[in-house]
Structure 1
Amino acid sequence: MSTPLSTDVVIIGAGPVGLFAIFECGMLRLKTHVVDSLDAVGGQCTALYPEKPIYDIPGFPSIDAADLIANLEKQAAPFQPEYHLNQQVMGLEKVGDKWRVTTDKGTVIDAFAVIVAAGCGAFGPNRPPIQGLEAYEATGGVQYYVKKREDFRGKRVVIAGGGDSAVDWALSLSDVAASVQVVHRRPKFRAAPESAAKLDELAKAGKIELVIPYQLGGLEGENGKLSGVIVETLEGEKRTLPADVLLPFFGLSMTLGPIADWGLNLDHNHIAITPARCQTSVEGIFAIGDIATYEGKLKLILSGFAEAASAAHGAHAVARPGEIFHFEYSTTKGVP
């Protein structure tokens, strides 16, 4: 085992909520080490949809996910966090008055507190049960994420799904794609009302076609080059939609991985917490963001930001148990 590193707080997860937790801990003079299984900070914002506009960040009517991550990283930088990327936390045990975190790369970190900001845990797309899907995945005919809108310029795009991702990308790609057809089993979409209304407006204007009520039935093409998407109704009526790319948005499959073995109180693959300090069932371990759950929880980035502040204050009480703390606003305190 390598010589343990020492810090005040280990943050597991370098997505937007984890990055903001660095800032909040730094404002309380707590040093942080950050571990993430991806090879870059940003979590899903970086890995899945860097060019997707986000509309519910206070002060930004619209901001692309990649720009949000860049700003959060810049905001955290004055507090000199140490990042351990492309590593998965495998072990968590109490050693003396600290928690010992170990990764699959042999990194060992001792900390007074641990903040779990692991998002969905280990994630991957829910793939539709279509024969021959793998051949089209290999050539880009079937994709589950949009990293660059320009990659779809002039292409015939079929989007399957009825949630926020399907609706948001239909709206966004309608500006660059040759055509956008949205396949959904029912007329009602499970998306933000304003986005669903915009989708309906574009459909009425002929810029998007809503293929309803249909579901995916198969794919057409040769040598992995997609030429059509077969859709069908529950009654068996079939259509073939001309397509260069199929984007199935059926959500992510989520596994907690080693987190499930840490003795935390779990609720349907989420970590149950006490909202006031985002404390888990184990003292000194906190959870924030999408992985945390409590009554009335809203799965929004801005909710995760507030949880990061609460968890940082909880971690401060653990790391500095006898220290008298006088809270100061950032406007009066400033940053390094």
Structure 2
Amino acid sequence: MGMNNGHMHQTDVVIVGAGPVGLFAVFECGMVRLRCHVVDVLEDVGGQCTALYPEKPIYDIPGFPRVEAAELIVRLKAQAAPFQPVYHLGQQVQSLEPATGGFWQLTTSKGTVIQARAVIVAAGVGAFGPNRPPLDGIEAFEGKSVFYYVTQRESFRGKRVVIAGGGDTAVDWALSLAEVAARVSVVHRRDRFRAAPESESRLKALVAAGKIDLVVPYQLQSLDGVDGRLMAVNVATLDGVEKKIPADILLPFFGLSMSLGPIAEWGLALERNQISIDPATAATNRPGLFAVGDVVTYPGKLKLILTGFAEAAVAARSAYGLIHPEQPLHFEYSTTSGVPAA
């Protein structure tokens, strides 16, 4: 099934978000013979796994003692493939409104219009982007010598790297890049880190061994360089003591700014920027709209990929009940029935 009749599509379910939970929702819908279209603002499937940490190992996926994020996405996509989902990538959902005949009509930033009987919101943390440090002229360096994500560690081999920040991401990449970079300096405004204790003690050990420079308590002040090529990162203490760190690369890790974007306008019950659902059905307060994964909240909610997978299975059954109220679902285990023919 490809792109039919221009920009207008009709399907059983439209899934908003193509991260791991959105991809697994395609599979679960397929198991109950529901067809899916999937919309994501990123150019590729995988959500944060692809955009932010493709090489990061994940340890809590059942049956995988360890799996890299990118590999998990490859496998989830392959698992969904038999059900021929149609992906609409690189576009944001702009509006969602009820249409005739019990359909929801969804319109994207590229003018794609999809009508579906059910919508499953699997939007993770919503639209996300890096928190930029407030440095003059930083835009000129972005994508050349200033990066907010590490997708390939190898590209920093032999480089002088400055990492700014004090969370897990900053500490984890300092430990990892110390193995390949010519020099790693970590700039943080205080001596304490907000990272896993085990990681912090490994960092301190590498500092003691002279493998990592710890530049504390300093903050980023300005950048030296030309044509997007960084030469030095200037830092200062709160008392105005300045220091120049020769550098080829700056990695500012100040977390992500999250926003639900247009989803916030859909009349869903929200609690602290998350969508409230009934975990028994994955239903929101609006009939036909379901939500799963990190974007949802309910008492006892665990923010784990595996919880999102379970919620996706619940949402698919609920969508089936909505779309085929006259046909009770005789659920068979995939171990006995195999995967249904698409």
- Alignment TM-score, normalising by the size of structure 2: 0.89
Q: Partner of 2:235 in structure 1?
A: 231
Q: Partner of 1:118 in structure 2?
A: 123
Residues 198/18 of structure 1: CA separation in 2 closer, same or farther (3 Å cut): farther
Aligned identity (percent) is 66
How many pairs does the alignment contain? Answer: 335
Q: Partner of 1:181 in structure 2?
A: 185
AA at the equivalent of 2:164:
A
Distance 1:281 1:179 in 2: 53
Match among 23, 38, 51 for residue 42 of structure 2: 38
Distance 2:11 2:164 in 1: 46
AA at the equivalent of 2:193:
F
Contact 1:15–1:117 (CA<8 Å) still a contact in 2?
Answer: yes
Cα deviation, residue 216, structure 1: 1.6
Cα deviation, residue 232, structure 1: 2.7
Cα deviation, residue 4, structure 1: 4.2
Cα deviation, residue 213, structure 1: 2.7
Q: Partner of 2:220 in structure 1?
A: 216
RMSD between superposed Cα atoms in Å: 2.3
Distance 1:216 1:226 in 2: 14
Match among 61, 77, 83 for residue 81 of structure 2: 77
Match among 42, 59, 62 for residue 58 of structure 1: 62
Structure 2 unaligned regions, length at least 5: none
Runs of 4+ in 1 over 6 A off after TM superposition: none
- Alignment TM-score, normalising by the size of structure 1: 0.90
Cα deviation, residue 172, structure 1: 2.1
Matched, 1:86 2:80: no
Contact 2:185–2:213 (CA<8 Å) still a contact in 1?
Answer: yes
Contact 2:187–2:218 (CA<8 Å) still a contact in 1?
Answer: yes
Q: Partner of 1:105 in structure 2?
A: 110
Cα deviation, residue 267, structure 1: 2.6
- 1:1-336 paired onto structure 2 within 5 Å: 4-95=8-99, 96-137=101-142, 140-336=144-340
Q: SS at 2:217's partner residue? A: coil
Distance 1:331 1:196 in 2: 44
Residues 40/328 of structure 1: CA separation in 2 closer, same or farther (3 Å cut): same
* 93-102 or 14-23, larger mean C-alpha shift: 93-102
Residues 92-124 of structure 1: per-residue CA shift (max 9 Å, x gap): 122222212222333222222101112232222
Contact 1:2–1:108 (CA<8 Å) still a contact in 2?
Answer: no
AA at the equivalent of 1:300:
L
Structure 1 unaligned regions, length at least 5: none
* 116-125 or 16-25, larger mean C-alpha shift: 116-125
AA at the equivalent of 1:219:
L
